Chain A
Amino acid sequence: MTQSPHPAPAGPVGAGPAARSTARRGIGRRHLLAGAGIAGTALTAAACSGGQSIGGAEAPPAAAEPFSGTYDGPDVTITFWNGFTGGDGPYMKQLVAEFTEANPAITVEQSSLEWPDLYSKVVTATDAGSGPDVAAMHLDQLASFAARGTIVPLDDLTESLGLTASDFTPAVWQGGVFQDRRYGIPLDMFTIAQYWSTPMLASAGLESGPATAEEFAAATTALQGAGVAAPFWISPDNWQIFVSLLGQFGGSLYSEDLTTVTFGDEAGVKALTWMRDLVESGVSPSDATDLATAFKNGSSAIIHELLWLINDIEDTADGMEYGIGPFPMIGDAPGVFANSHHFALTKQADADEDRGQAARMFISWMSENSATWAGSGNIPARASARQDVVFTEGRQAPLAADDVLESFLFLQQVPGSREIAADSYQRAVSRAVLGEEEPEAALAAAVTTAQEMLDRNRELYGI
């Protein structure tokens, strides 16, 4: 970005020599500006058309210039889409405002839309050149959009900034890689945590939530003895618990080369059976769906839920006495479902040199200064941000102990993974927890479905 020959799309500055020659011929200033405008528009159009073609599984040509770590081009506007529409929205707004203050040359147009809307619109919008330059995406979605060429590799950015796994955590850093290329810079991490009602546990003589399978069984028995009929509630959409237990019993959703579906193996059956047994033994009521309400109104003493519940309790049940800790080790090794919001760069940004550089600047700055983001209830991905007092005093801080972070299991980078999940293991979890089908049979059916979808996708995506 030291010497951009690329004229600015608007403004007389970019039209330098032409301006002088026409002025001498006596054409008024208005014509001159109009001419510059037309030239600018033409350039923008030309630049956009480069990234318009639908298709091409391979990434479009990367930005010509390596990212230098700063932005010194002309004023530019970039578009940033994210799905932070809940309690996390204000924190992202604040972070973007801080960025604009520190980088006055870059204007950020932020759009917050529901995640499903974002994901359903981003492909077509980017193809049409009216999408985002930078998009926040979940880690498990990167492969789907990378395979379509909607988002582009960021290896140039990480190389020029010298970012490595040690700036984040190894797992979340590695999680943003698809087919040996990096497609996302992690902003945060979130996971399922164990929440417990302090007074209810105290009534059973317990101080904190159980950490192992034995402790879990003892705790639920003690709570039932103390008059809590159903101390731990599980719901048919608790597939994150299944993914956690699957890892704990030594299994995985897909084989390491991502060609074979493996969640139906022994580990999967053990995991799902443990979940089903909770309902059969009466530890959890059947057909529970609204766990957060059950926890807040004192029906369930312990639940496993994502981190959004922290802010939710603050908003709707302020003053509730509860404790929070890592997901227990039920299987043979620690492990817990985790996901992460990543910054991804779209091909639309790279259609224009300045926007591409500005977008990279935005991503790099946001990652570096993400301590503010801890207020959203998530765990900052950046190691330096986890040292910040904003985070260390947060409710979720106990989940960022080194051994807990090491147990995070991120979903594998499989294109179309959400559609596969919805029609396979998430359905199996639902059917088994609801008692519609035995865990083994439910998983076997799900594996058949998932394998067929995976094979079809691999053929389509050419991987």
Chain B
Amino acid sequence: MSTAAPSLSPSRSPVPVAPVDAPRRIRRGSPVTPYLFIGPFLILFAVFVLAPILVLAWSSTRQWILGFDSGGFVGGENYATLLSGQGVLSEEFWRGMRVTAVFTVLSVPLLVTVPFALALLLNLRFRGRTLFRAVYFAPYVLGVAVVGVLWHFLLDARVGPVNHLLGAIGLPDATAWTTSLPAGWVSLVGVTVWWTVGFNAVIYLAALQDVPAELHEAARIDGAGAWRRLWAVTIPHMRRVLQFVVVITIIASANMYGQSALITQEQPGGATRTAIGYIAQTGMRSYDIGMASAMSMILAVCLIAASLLVNQLFRLVGKV
């Protein structure tokens, strides 16, 4: 620091300090610093995300069944079998994919809009607001096992309270909520909405509080009604959050497994077994790691495609 305080010390040094050096001595930090900051996360990401994906891709190209010296590298044969549409593996897998697709299409619109409406309500000023915020979030803290077992009992067609209550108020009381379609879809989607509505609502709520109050005020002065303000101020401001919610909700719905395993128990006759359900059966019970990996890869590619599509759509809407 001799350059910083040359005048304070007696000028005993015969060596003059070159003034051109001064600007170069501004500390810019070590080039290693950014890597040290992302390091901890990078390690976790590499070990728990990147490595499993690579192993998955690798194992999907092998005939690998635990307990057997099976065929080794088979290239794209697992994929070819699954994509052929022929045979039990392919038929069951695509049946599961259809179930997953139906569930996603039915649940995502509700899981995007209902929490949004809820967040708008919870963002108003009223007595007991905090209590309601907690109440709507409460089911989310339950595990899928609790939710599944609980609703399987509640929705039982013959001995469950739901039908009993419906009958008590004069509505049809013999709907087979867990053993027939389409009633089974109503159960699965309904329970999922009840269960996870709080999570998306909390995200929306946080975003709503970020919308500047001045904009609302300005719009109000310009004579915009509540509806107009919602569309012209609130929603455009939440575009990024909406996009995020849509994408994670699609992914969460496409990964549905517990609800159909516990509430409908894949009834009627396996008609509500999702793709994940069949992947679990193939990998965990038949130990067919190669085939289960290939199925997972196909599902992952479908999800990546869906996410990209959503991002693209939001970009288009944003340009309008």
**Interface, chain A (partner B; CB < 8 A):** 54-57, 116, 119-120, 123-124, 127, 147-150, 233, 236-237, 285-290, 293-294, 297, 299, 416, 418-419, 422-423, 427-428, 430-431, 434, 436-437, 442, 449, 452-453, 456, 460-461
The reply to whether A461 and B66 contact each other, CB–CB distance below 8 Å, is: no
In the complex, chain A residues whose CB is within 8 Å of the CB of B174? 287
The reply to whether A119 and B180 contact each other, CB–CB distance below 8 Å, is: no
B70 within 8 A of A: yes
From A148, A290, A442, give the contact of B287 (CB < 8 A): A148
The reply to whether A453 and B88 contact each other, CB–CB distance below 8 Å, is: yes
Q: Which 10 A-B pairs have the closest CB atoms?
A: A148-B67, A287-B176, A55-B69, A431-B269, A287-B157, A430-B269, A120-B284, A427-B269, A287-B179, A293-B159
The reply to whether A289 and B66 contact each other, CB–CB distance below 8 Å, is: no
The reply to whether B267 and A419 contact each other, CB–CB distance below 8 Å, is: no
Closest CB of chain A to B260's CB: distance in Å? 14
Closest CB of chain B to A67's CB: distance in Å? 25
Nearest chain A residue, comparing its CB with the CB of B265: A237
Known: A54-B66, A419-B285, A434-B269. A294 touches B180 (CB 8 A): no
B286 within 8 A of A: yes
B234 within 8 A of A: no
Nearest chain B residue, comparing its CB with the CB of A436: B268
The reply to whether A123 and B269 contact each other, CB–CB distance below 8 Å, is: no
Closest CB of chain B to A96's CB: distance in Å? 28
B240 within 8 A of A: no
Known: A297-B159, A449-B88. A287 touches B180 (CB 8 A): yes
Give the complex CA separation of A71 and B88 in angstroms.
49
The reply to whether B70 and A460 contact each other, CB–CB distance below 8 Å, is: yes
The reply to whether A57 and B286 contact each other, CB–CB distance below 8 Å, is: no
Give the complex CA separation of A227 and B67 in angstroms.
57
The reply to whether B68 and A148 contact each other, CB–CB distance below 8 Å, is: yes
Give the complex CA separation of A116 and B178 in angstroms.
22
In the complex, chain B residues whose CB is within 8 Å of the CB of A236? 179, 267-269
**Interface, chain B (partner A; CB < 8 A):** 65-70, 87-88, 92, 153, 156-160, 174, 176, 178-180, 265, 267-270, 281, 284-287
Give the complex CA separation of A428 and B159 in angstroms.
24
Give the complex CA separation of A428 and B292 in angstroms.
25
Sample of 6 A–B contacts (CB below 8 Å): A148-B287, A236-B269, A289-B158, A430-B267, A430-B268, A460-B65
The reply to whether A123 and B287 contact each other, CB–CB distance below 8 Å, is: yes
Nearest chain A residue, comparing its CB with the CB of B67: A148
From A54, A294, A416, give the contact of B158 (CB < 8 A): A294
Known: A55-B70, A430-B270, A434-B269. A287 touches B287 (CB 8 A): no
In the complex, chain B residues whose CB is within 8 Å of the CB of A299? 158-159
The reply to whether A419 and B66 contact each other, CB–CB distance below 8 Å, is: no
A147-B67, A293-B159 are known; give 5 further A-B pairs, CB within 8 A: A56-B69, A123-B67, A434-B268, A436-B269, A453-B88
The reply to whether A418 and B88 contact each other, CB–CB distance below 8 Å, is: no
The reply to whether A428 and B269 contact each other, CB–CB distance below 8 Å, is: yes
Give the complex CA separation of A422 and B88 in angstroms.
13
The reply to whether B88 and A423 contact each other, CB–CB distance below 8 Å, is: yes
From A116, A148, A237, A456, give the contact of B66 (CB < 8 A): A148
Known: A416-B286, A430-B270, A431-B269. A289 touches B68 (CB 8 A): no
The reply to whether B270 and A427 contact each other, CB–CB distance below 8 Å, is: yes
Nearest chain B residue, comparing its CB with the CB of A300: B158
In the complex, chain B residues whose CB is within 8 Å of the CB of A419? 281, 285-286
The reply to whether B281 and A287 contact each other, CB–CB distance below 8 Å, is: no
Give the complex CA separation of A289 and B174 in angstroms.
13
In the complex, chain B residues whose CB is within 8 Å of the CB of A116? 285
Nearest chain A residue, comparing its CB with the CB of B160: A290
Give the complex CA separation of A436 and B65 in angstroms.
35
Give the complex CA separation of A419 and B174 in angstroms.
32
The reply to whether B67 and A55 contact each other, CB–CB distance below 8 Å, is: yes
Closest CB of chain B to A445's CB: distance in Å? 10
The reply to whether B267 and A123 contact each other, CB–CB distance below 8 Å, is: no
The reply to whether B268 and A57 contact each other, CB–CB distance below 8 Å, is: no
Closest CB of chain A to B126's CB: distance in Å? 41
